[in-house]
Amino acid sequence: MSNDQFTEMHRKNIDAAMKLTQMSLENSKRIMELQVETARALFEGSVKNARSLTEAQDPQNALALRTQFAQETSAKMMEAMRQMADITAEAQAEFNRMLGQQMAGTSQEMMENFRKMASVSGLPGNSGDAFANMQKAFGTAKDAFEQIAKASTAAFTLPGTGKGKSVKVE
């Protein structure tokens, strides 16, 4: 591998790391904004609920209001959790896509370099077999990565929602 090739591979790895860092920061910001909005909505709701409870005329009415308020609060919390799960699933899918691209590019470059080296150096034995075995190993590794990416994406997707669908909490 020449210095130029090594430098280019290093540059690509740095670019990929910077993209992952940027994606991580953006997702962290989205989650923090969601948390702040949820906290604000819950606080405003609790103030409104406290005022409503002071106007309750009898214990039955107060109990009904408390039950209603608890259901509303639970619904808001569930919606916030669903949104965080969506953000996490999107981030995981993007990470898997970026990692797959990085692996595909790196393995392709390595295969090309190996092919060049084998054709120039005249390796002992049948270098065609070594090249074929190396291609098979990269193919197997790529297939394994794709399976891991699918399993990971499935683990971060809410059952029955699929990508981009939301769960309505009643």
Side chain identity at residue 1, one-letter code: M
Domain ranges of the chain: 3-155
Do 94 and 23 contact (CB within 8 A), yes or no?
Answer: yes
Do 169 and 82 contact (CB within 8 A), yes or no?
Answer: yes
Give the list of residues 6+ apart from residue 33 with CB closer than 8 angstroms, or none. none
What is the reported pLDDT for 73? 93
How crowded is the C-beta side of 18, counted as CA atoms within 13 Å?
A: 6
Q: What is the DSSP letter of 156?
A: T
Q: Where are the alpha helices (DSSP H) in the chain?
A: 3-54, 59-121, 127-155
Total-model pTM: 0.58
Do 69 and 49 contact (CB within 8 A), yes or no?
Answer: yes
pLDDT digit string (tens) for the chain, length 170 residues: 577 877 877 788 788 888 888 988 999 999 999 999 999 999 999 999 999 888 888 889 989 999 999 999 999 999 999 999 999 888 888 888 887 777 776 666 666 666 665 555 554 554 556 656 666 776 776 677 667 766 666 665 555 554 444 444 34
d(CA 61, CA 115): 80
